[in-house]
Amino acid sequence: MIGLAEQTGRPAQPGNLSKLVDAIFQPGGHLESALGLEHRPEQADMAQSVADALEADTPLLFEAGTGVGKSLAYLIPGLLHSIDSERPFVVSSHTIALQEQIREKDLKICRDLFQSVPALQKYAHFKTAIMLGRANYCCTTRLAAAIQEAGGAQSELLPNQAREDLVRLTQWAATAENGVLQELSPPPLPEVWDQVNADSSTCTRKNCDPAICFHQRARKKLFSANCIVLNHSLLFSLINAGMPPGDDQRGILLPEDFVVLDEAHRIPSIATDHFGLHISSYGIDRALKRLYNPRTRRGQLKKYGSPKDLQAVENAIHACDEFFQAINETCLRKKPVLRIRQTGICQNTTDAPLREVTKRIDALIEKTDDERLSDELGDHRRRIAANRLGIQNFIELAEEDHVYWVERSGKHGNLTTLRSAPLDVAPHLQQALFQRGSSAILTSATLSNGQSLDNFRDKVGGHCAETEIRHSPFDYPNNCCIFIASDTPEPEPGKGRLDLEHLAESIVWCARQTPGGTLVLFTSHQDLRAAQQRTVDTFRKINRPLFCQGIDGPRSELLQRFRKAGNGILFGTDSFWTGIDVPGPALSQVILTRLPFENPGHPLGEARFEYIRSRGGNPFAELAIPEALTKFRQGLGRLIRCQNDRGHLIILDSRLLRKPYGKHFLQALPHEHFHRFNKSNCQTVFNQATLFSKETDTGFSHP
């Protein structure tokens, strides 16, 4: 159990929450009368469902279409219930954008509402806390120790850049508001931040002054917070580290807490990542070199260890290098990902050297009277031991219900990772979220296949949860024109497109049908790069700025430049299908180049297909189509972000019209009216249906 406090709360008055929520969200209610916000029937329905679930401490799966206003629909009931029951309210989201919206906008609306209504003023004092992982915070105690060490006998071994970073960190820490890495620009060297961050047993209330140490100060806020906001990745790291709780203490962060997971369509994949193994050559090399780096002759053991201790670390570094090189030679010479089906893929040459390192750390801990040093060494020991055990479990394929694979990545293909993941994450989620006795509410705009939540409920183990769907209130029939290409050649299963010239011409022609911006969504980086090469000159000639993921800068920078351009063309893959929020003309058109089926050849997908077949199921119908539908609906949802938005949805994949499964995707469209077009009739079709005045063009051809 990851409890931070031992409070148990008090029972809230039955029915009180429901009455308060009704008074706030009903037509002419407090939201309208006090703040002037429009009444949204779908939002009122969701708020009442959330209130019912909180009062009954039962789980709820709620799909709320874009524009429903789901953030306020769960924040207001959650805050009211948190204060009345004296229980913490945990809100988890996937994207930084939503966390910032909650912190900077939605929670302020809640406070304004409570302050404006006399009957709600007792709730206006609610406290919130933003929770980040420990490694994001600067620990002032460790910073002071690093500065002292930098001035010691080994100071000549410290690189100039590291010295400069430590000086800059000291100056920054004196005035920083939250003391988190994200506030530093540019960030310090990774090895410098490792020395000063709070990811250490030395950063405790006993060693650090909560009035000064950024992490301890943030941690202190958690104890008294009514609402704790964090991201899914941190949430599942905590769950994986300490769940399930004991019978006498329920909760994820605090006893008796209740949790809302927004952007919950991402939960199955995020949980899958966290409930498996992830051991990289880079990670273990970095862990060992924090003890001693033979190249720089620096590290914890340089000062406190013996020559034999240093040699033990150096031996372990070489052994791990050889082990991962053997993995590359044995498994990854022909392709970057390989599923491991048998034990003993190669000899585990790391076990003895890593054991020797942990033994030597144990001996140093036994000899020292320095409590801070003992804690630091203990952290190193736990990391090394966890990596040793993880490698052993991987070699032995220790978990029967997991799939195992190795992968090669990095710019130069020099990062090797051992991976495993559960075939079925539902039992893990069922235990972590739905069997705690406290309410868990999962919400998103795309939990269903457009009609039912049954598939999502199965994936998350939420069989005991109530399910509800409220569609978007936006006027899609009048504000969104849908076009589907009927003549695109079908791709071969598991292979890249065979129609790249046709695709490039289609993208250019479609982009010219709107004066605003166009988001083009791809299913592979290979297709994106090929399309970029074929269109970049054309877009330059017609003065349309082109921004491409993986080519023109990081994601956040591309989005900022795209918004500012107003008429830009943005090419994106996986992460751009979700979480993009660009209201107004800057995003007037979304083009889906291909239905977003996952690669069935990936070890995890392949194993899950086999698992479904083994119990007599149809993996394409039960897994491939539902997952593609969720991503498809997310991609379509990038277009209409507010009441006044309008634009085109264009799908350049004729399988919607030709394949039997296409009907599922047609049913998932924002409305039922769509226009078929092909290379010969495209201009006529667009002339009759488009929402925009357009440039004159007669067909698919480059100018």
- Per-residue pLDDT tens for 20-62? 999 999 999 999 999 999 999 999 999 999 999 999 999 999 9
Question: What pLDDT band is residue 495 in, cutting at 50, 70 and 90?
Answer: low
Taking the CB of residue 644, how many other CB atoms lie within 10 A of it?
11
Q: Reply yes or no on whether the pLDDT at 250 is more than 60.
A: no
Instruction: Please determine, for residue 485, whether its predicted confidence score (pLDDT) is greater than 50.
Output: yes
Contacts of 405 (CB under 8 A, 6+ apart): 337, 338, 339, 340, 419, 420, 603, 604
Model pLDDT for residues 391-425, shown as the tens digit of each residue? 999 999 999 999 999 999 987 778 999 999 999 99
Give mean pLDDT, residues 570-578.
94
Q: According to the model, what pLDDT value does residue 21 have? A: 98
Please check whether residue 382 is in contact with residue 365, taking contact to mean a CB–CB distance below 8 angstroms.
no
Separation between Cα atoms, residue 442 and residue 60, nearest integer Å: 6
SS3 547: strand
Dig out the tokens for 203 from the structure.
Answer: 């950063």
Q: Give CA–CA dist 59/258, Å, rounded.
A: 10
Tell the residue number behind the tokens 């006795």, with chain if given: 437
Token output for 292: 């001693």
Three-class SS state of 468: strand
Residue 215 CB burial class (10 angstroms; 0-12, 13-18, ≥19) = buried
Tokens of residue 464, six digits: 């005991």
| Band of residue 147 on the pLDDT scale cut at 50, 70, 90 | confident
Closest CA to 197 of 176, 169, 174: 169
Query: In degrees to the nearest 10, what's the CA dihedral of 351, 357, 360, 365?
Result: -110
Q: What are phi and psi of 91, to 5 degrees?
A: -120, 120
Instruction: For residue 308, give the 3-state DSSP assignment.
Output: helix
Q: What pLDDT digit, counting tens, does each position of 342-392 carry?
A: 998 899 999 999 999 999 999 999 999 988 889 889 999 999 999 999 999
Q: Which residues pair with residue 519 across a beta bridge?
A: 570, 590
Mind listing the domains of the chain with CATH numbers? 16-127+229-273+425-470 (3.40.50.300), 137-216 (no CATH), 276-422 (1.10.275), 476-689 (3.40.50.300)
Q: How many residues does the chain have?
A: 703
Residues 348, 319 contacting (CB under 8 angstroms): no
Distance from C-alpha of 688 to C-alpha of 388, rounded to nearest angstrom = 65
Name residue 417's beta-bridge partners.
280, 407
3-state secondary structure of 44: helix
> What type of residue sits at position 310?
L
Yes or no: say if 386 and 350 are a contact pair by the CB < 8 Å rule: no
Identify the three-state secondary structure at position 473.
Answer: coil
Across the chain, what does the average pLDDT equal?
90
Element (H, E) at 301: helix 300-304
- pLDDT band with cut points at 50, 70 and 90 for residue 242: low
Residue 195 has pLDDT above 90, yes or no: no
Q: Is the pLDDT of residue 494 over 60?
A: no
Which positions ≥6 away from 171 have C-beta within 8 Å?
A: none
Q: Give dist(CA 258, CA 252) in Å, integer.
A: 9
Q: What CA–CA distances, in Å, run from 676 to 205, 521, 587?
A: 65, 19, 22
